[in-house]
Structure 1
């Protein structure tokens, strides 16, 4: 099969959504300039640089109570900061619940029953139970082609790691089961790993 995206694919669901998989989930917490709290997952997310550490995520839809975007991007436009929480297998259900089409006054921490803690380098909350959380300061919001597509680029200014997520000096991601998006309505919990030494090492 071959198709040009502008011509359509003729399938029941868009295959592009599932081809790039698995995708890590950036569970983004923000605080609005009015002190309102927001928490929402984004699967167009990744780390993109080591020094300084940087992350990106993309928001690709709108809400009727926001001006051409969603709560997360609207809050970041106002404050310039956000926190990216790592999703463990134990947190997959509240993560999914926080993705609902809630109005801008809904506090997803309270809605999902999650405890929050205060960030250290930015005015924002993070998910206390997350295995790790990245405090981020936005450097750019890039308008992408298409309606309501925005790419947020940020520098990591602080990193929280739960004590039980460290083992022998390493971040033990297998201990908590990182959750990723596969496509359609499918997710995966990472259970297996293998090492591949780089050539020349």
Structure 2
């Protein structure tokens, strides 16, 4: 199957990207408005872009109306700072619910029942309970394409690392973090590790094996084509929250 990208609209291209680039790390981004209102959003277009200075990148799409900028981006533009927090399994549902498009005057820490953690350099709070958080100051904001997408580069000025995860020589015990990644319309728990090469019998067994589900859905179920799914990941949640 060959799909020519030039003939795709934004939603169709998005579906192919998020279904192909998996798993994606989730930046659970916390910001604060000029007026001090806390905001939280899960961003899965997230990666590292530089070592010295350490720098990360997040890409934000507009709200589900396709026009309005998300509060996260507005806050980043206004304050020049943000925190990225990793998501572990105990906080996965809170992270999922933070995709709701709350009104701008709603403090999402309070709405979601999450505790604010102080940062050392920036005004934006961390999310308490996150195993690792980065304090970031904006390096640049880059408009991309014609769909109001924006790429934000943030310089990491402080790392907050749970004590038991910090190893000698400045390493992270990666196998000790039950970190959650993003698939297309679902999440995955990173709970397997390996080095190569693997035995041939392992490779043969895993070649066509589906991922094991942790929830109660059937093995071949996916929300991607259900009425609950939306390209922004938030429309159905917003309807539920406002019901």
* Same fold (TM > 0.5): yes
Offset of residue 167 of structure 1 = 4.7
Aligned pair count reads: 192
Q: How does 1:127-142 map to 2 (within 5 A)?
A: 127-142=127-142
Match of 2:39, SS state, is strand
Conserved in 2, the CA contact under 8 Å of 1:32 and 1:78?
yes
Match of 2:104, SS state, is coil
| CA-based RMSD | 2.1
Offset of residue 70 of structure 1 = 0.4
Residues 152-181 of structure 1 show CA distances to partners (whole Å, capped at 9, x for unaligned) of 011000111112323556322322311111
The aligned counterpart of 1:49 is 50
Conserved in 1, the CA contact under 8 Å of 2:63 and 2:101?
no
Distance 2:120 2:111 in 1: 24
Q: Is the helix fraction higher in 1 or 2?
A: 2
Q: How does 1:59-70 map to 2 (within 5 A)?
A: 59-62=60-63, 68-70=68-70
Match of 1:140, SS state, is strand
Conserved in 2, the CA contact under 8 Å of 1:63 and 1:69?
no
The aligned counterpart of 2:35 is 34
Offset of residue 107 of structure 1 = 1.6
The aligned counterpart of 1:151 is 151
Distance 1:136 1:196 in 2: 35
Select between 20-29 and 173-182 the one with higher mean Cα deviation.
Answer: 173-182
Conserved in 2, the CA contact under 8 Å of 1:63 and 1:70?
no
Distance 1:14 1:53 in 2: 30
Distance 1:160 1:33 in 2: 24
Q: Whose radius of gyration is greater, 1 or 2?
A: 2
Offset of residue 88 of structure 1 = 0.7
Match of 1:69, SS state, is coil
Distance 2:83 2:94 in 1: 17
Compared CA separation, residues 29 and 179, structure 1 to 2 (3 A): same
Q: How does 1:1-201 map to 2 (within 5 A)?
A: 1-8=1-8, 14-62=15-63, 68-167=68-167, 170-183=171-184, 185-195=185-195
Distance 2:151 2:91 in 1: 25
Conserved in 1, the CA contact under 8 Å of 2:83 and 2:124?
yes
Q: Is the strand fraction higher in 1 or 2?
A: 1
Could you tell me which runs of 5 or more consecutive residues in structure 1 were left unpaired when the two chains were aligned: none
Select between 20-29 and 100-109 the one with higher mean Cα deviation.
Answer: 100-109
Compared CA separation, residues 14 and 128, structure 1 to 2 (3 A): closer
Could you tell me which runs of 5 or more consecutive residues in structure 2 were left unpaired when the two chains were aligned: 198-243
